[in-house]
Homo-oligomer: A and B are copies of this chain.
């Protein structure tokens, strides 16, 4: 198929920041795109060839959208999977394949997948309702503290909570969930794996993530991770094993814990470009968005090595600020060496909302880390 012609249409479900960055690459290669998103203010609305406003969870909307495209991909997992399955049956190429997406969409199913395939992961229990958790605590089957995770539809740190007492359960929704052992870990790591239909597979260097202690959002992504080579090798091997077992097409971002004993446990995966790979735009030979396009179009995969070290700082809405967004001191961070802000174009800020990110690249990772700290201390995402 000739992807570089308007006879070919790539459909993207979701028009947020990931889609926006994906569209830089489709434009670079002149690939014709349709985007579906519920918001008229979606960052993707400009830059795609045709924008469709609609509900990503509605069967008819997703099905109709998908019938008009040749290849369909996602920038968000929360989409109507029944529609995708029907589209796949009817010959639309859907990447990630719906089988992988179904496994990933539900965190309980995802965890069972790991245990079924001998992939190391933190011990957990699955519950259909919150009330079952309370019973399990009462019976001594579940000990505090544990990590509660909603089985479906968590985003931006919602859907995950550390539970230290029965009282912590009060605000949680009563749906399907898991309770996971809390793992004391040294580091959170991630590896992005790319796979095309031919079965070619490449991995990006292991990155290290530092989380905001309260918001449960990544504060810094550091590439390469400052860990032993043996640990990096193990993390890469486990990410590859997940990729091989899932038989995804496109990117798979594999998030892992490095325990105090240097064991690697898989936390969760995302079958699409991921926050842990944003630094690749500036630091890698092939950025993750171009790589995703290469993979889903079954093109040769690109070099995943880094030109220079890269650190990514998330720009999230400051606490106490809701309304029209202002990026305070953005001009000051532009003075710093190797600093590139990415503003997603969301008009309204609210506490902890992902509004953008800043990449810091440098030949020396320690220098990059110091500049990243200054970036974090300088720029503020506030309301007018």
Contacts and interface: CB of A to CB of B under 8 A. Distances in A.
A326 interface: yes
Interface string A339-371: 111111101000000000000010100000000
A55 to B, nearest CB: 24
Interface string A267-305: 000000000000000000110001000100001101100
13 contacts: A2-B326, A5-B326, A24-B27, A27-B345, A29-B341, A30-B343, A46-B47, A46-B48, A285-B337, A286-B340, A300-B335, A307-B361, A307-B363
Copies of this protein in the assembly total: 2
Given A46-B46, A47-B47, A20 B29 contact: no
Interface string A310-345: 000000000000001011001100110111111111
A49 interface: yes
Contacts of A2: 326
Contacts of A4: 326-327, 330, 343
Given A28-B342, A299-B331, 17 more contacts: A4-B326, A4-B327, A4-B330, A5-B324, A24-B27, A27-B46, A28-B343, A29-B343, A30-B343, A46-B47, A46-B48, A285-B338, A290-B340, A302-B339, A303-B338, A307-B307, A307-B361
Contact of A331 (B46, B49, B300, B331): B300
Contacts of A335: 300
A334 B47 contact: no
Contacts of A303: 337-338
Contacts of A337: 285, 303
A341 B361 CA distance: 23
B27 A334 contact: no
Interface in A20-65: 20, 23-24, 27-30, 46-49
A54 B361 CA distance: 41
A255 to B, nearest CB: 26
Contacts of A30: 343-345
A300 B335 CA distance: 5
A28 B21 CA distance: 9
Contacts of A27: 20, 24, 46-47, 345
A47 B347 CA distance: 17
Contacts of A47: 23, 27, 46-47
A6 B347 CA distance: 9
B285 A334 contact: no
A308 B330 CA distance: 27
Contacts of A294: 334
Contacts of A330: 4
6 smallest beta-carbon distances between A and B, as pairs:
A30-B343, A300-B335, A30-B345, A307-B307, A47-B47, A300-B334
Contact of A299 (B23, B290, B327, B334): B334
